[in-house]
């Protein structure tokens, strides 16, 4: 597909999503994790699973083997960073579906705006839990009063202790972030590497 055609299709997907979302409202605005530092968040993360509205990041729909690699922007001293989202389409040897998000406007530490393409609205991007080998990232965007969000459970390794996953999910839910009461979906990380 040519890039303008590609963008048209993406725009259409966004529009359909917006129209098919039924509830109104605004995004929850959680605080970043206690003791958060950029340095502890930078680097490669494996997505263990997520809770996501249908309109959340359309390009992640078919993803397996999902990773996020967060790096400070070269020369930036204001917290600007990039988040390289990489995954495989439907199966571990499927095509790469990569998208680089720009993290800007950091403040407080651990809370950014994330944008993917010039024509898509930026979303709030907050690290609500952060430990040596786990993180929880919450992103949320509201367009015309329609809320789309995603809770990502991340790990430094492709697997995570199930007790820890459950604990992290409970915390996010108790913070009121699962607005639509959606189910957690495990991300396939088996046979990827």
Q: What b/e sequence results for 69-100 when a residue is b if at least 16 CB atoms lie within 10 Å of its CB, and e otherwise?
A: ebebeeeeeebbbbbebbbbeeeeeeeebeee
| Binding residue (CB under 6 A) for ligand NAG from 20, 31, 78, 98 | 98
157 makes contact with ligand NAG (CB under 6 A): no
Residue placing its CB nearer to ligand NAG in the complex, 90 or 164? 164
Question: In 3D, which of 67, 53, 81, 79 has the Cα closest to residue 149?
Answer: 53
Residue placing its CB nearer to ligand NAG in the complex, 28 or 72? 72
Question: In 3D, which of 193, 175, 192 has the Cα closest to residue 51?
Answer: 175
192 makes contact with ligand NAG (CB under 6 A): no
CA distance 153 to 64: 14
Site string for ligand NAG, 99-138 (x = CB under 6 A): ----------------------------------------
Vertex 42 angle, CA 87 and 131, to 5°: 100
Binding span for ligand NAG by CB under 6 A among 29-37, 75-83, 134-142, 156-164: 156-164
| Binding residue (CB under 6 A) for ligand NAG from 157, 159, 161, 166 | 161
Q: Which residue has the tokens 């590609």?
A: 6
Residue placing its CB nearer to ligand NAG in the complex, 63 or 147? 63
> 3-state DSSP call for residue 170?
helix
Interaction site with ligand NAG (CB under 6 A): 69, 84, 86, 96, 98, 161, 163-164
């Amino acid at each position: 597909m040519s890039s303008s055609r590609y963008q048209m299709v993406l725009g259409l997907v966004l529009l359909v999503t917006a129209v098919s979302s039924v509830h109104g409202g605004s995004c929850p605005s959680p605080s970043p994790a206690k003791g958060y530092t950029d340095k502890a968040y930078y680097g490669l993360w494996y997505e263990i699973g997520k809770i996501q509205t249908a309109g959340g990041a359309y390009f992640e729909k078919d993803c397996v083997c999902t990773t996020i690699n967060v790096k400070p922007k070269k020369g930036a001293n204001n917290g600007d960073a990039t988040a390289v989202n990489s995954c495989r389409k439907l199966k571990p040897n499927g095509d790469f579906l990569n998208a680089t998000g720009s993290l800007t406007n950091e403040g407080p530490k651990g809370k950014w705006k994330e944008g993917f393409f010039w024509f898509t609205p930026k979303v709030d991007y907050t690290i609500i839990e952060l430990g040596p080998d786990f993180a929880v990232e919450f992103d949320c965007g509201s367009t015309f009063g329609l809320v789309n969000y995603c809770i990502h459970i991340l790990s430094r390794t492709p697997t995570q202790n199930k007790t820890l996953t459950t604990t992290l999910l409970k915390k996010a839910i108790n913070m009121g972030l699962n607005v639509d009461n959606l189910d957690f979906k495990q991300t396939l990380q088996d046979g990827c590497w």
